[in-house]
Chains A and B, each alone.
Chain A
């Protein structure tokens, strides 16, 4: 997908620049973009490392246990089919906590583990179960307590107020997650 898009973008730009006489701007544009990427990565490095470091501390505290408890009723509501399968529920809970804390790198391996455990109980091995559908949709809705990456970018771009987006992000996420969950519940009911 990006292979095609990327080439098309560059080819079209150069052709357009030749036709409309902006080739000089394009030439300088190439090199300012490159140094822009380097500059950004360096400022990025500081802020991203700060947050991965801080979040690693969170991972090692009892905050995790507390979140686990808080999530229990929600997980029971979202995954009614997993009634007594505490092991899967635990894995799902860990995945959700990693997502909530913005630990994308930790969330994916945990999520794959949960998927594999659910697949063991799956009777139709080529089709998603109800619980798997819900699980994936929740993972596509990014539920985050602190959107650290975005804050890091805003900080490196010298925002006056990098954290001002936290509350808008919460509201938007809740709406998105609600929409996803609702539609999945409908899909589960319809496509038996």
Chain B
């Protein structure tokens, strides 16, 4: 049984890629040329992200190396234990709605330190995959049309994020 599950998850990425390429051929897309076009955009994403990544790694690295993070985690563990959330994912929960690349950098830091495939790593990944940079998204869309009165959507969006985070924790707990 475990073998089958393992096989399926190993096959997911190759199968998706093959299906997309086959579909592209069927629709007469010049698959390789288009692939290169898209890959070029990938370079841009990584280049744009690098300065933020470096800056956040620096800040988080100093926090961790000084021992301050361990101290804070010790302090808040009683509270997070009560809520049954691993306390080391809290930085993600707070940063996620505010900054995309900053939370991505913190997520990487967490997964490096506590393992990618541990419960903490899985919850971090799931939160990153299932929530958005809420503040940024609202700011960009309202400012694009010059609107100031948002009728409380920030509240709705943040509540949705919170729901996503709670469900992420619960599901990863059940599955692992």
Which residues of A sit under 8 angstroms from B54, Cβ to Cβ? 34, 37-38
The number of chain A residues with a CB under 8 A from chain B is 100
The contact sample of 8 A-B pairs, CB cut-off 8 A, is A20-B67, A33-B61, A34-B54, A45-B42, A52-B41, A108-B140, A139-B137, A164-B9
Say if the beta carbon of B117 comes within 8 Å of chain A: yes
**A49→B43 contact, CB < 8 A:** yes
Report the minimal beta-carbon distance from B94 to chain A, rounded to whole angstroms.
10
Contacts of B98 in A (CB 8 A): 1-2
Q: Are B167 and A171 in contact (CB under 8 A)?
A: yes
Does B164 contact A141, Cβ atoms closer than 8 Å? yes
Q: Does B168 contact A (CB under 8 A)?
A: yes
Having A16-B71, A54-B17, A157-B116, one finds 8 other A-B pairs with CB under 8 Å, namely: A10-B62, A53-B39, A62-B23, A63-B23, A126-B147, A128-B142, A149-B104, A175-B164
B89 within 8 A of A: no
A residues near B, CB below 8 A?
Answer: 1-2, 5-6, 9-10, 12-14, 16-17, 20, 22, 25-26, 28-30, 32-34, 36-38, 40-41, 44-45, 48-63, 105, 108, 111-112, 115-116, 118-119, 124-128, 132-133, 135-137, 139-142, 144, 146-147, 149-151, 153-154, 157-169, 171-173, 175-180, 183-184, 187, 191
A133 partner residues in chain B, CB cutoff 8 A? 150-151, 153, 156
Residue on B with the closest CB to A150? B129
Chain B positions near chain A (C-beta within 8 angstroms):
6, 9-10, 12-13, 16-17, 20-21, 23-24, 26-27, 29, 31, 34-43, 45-46, 49-50, 53-68, 71, 98-99, 102, 104-105, 107-108, 111-112, 116-117, 121-122, 125-132, 134, 137-138, 140-142, 144-153, 155-157, 159-161, 163-165, 167-168, 171-172, 175
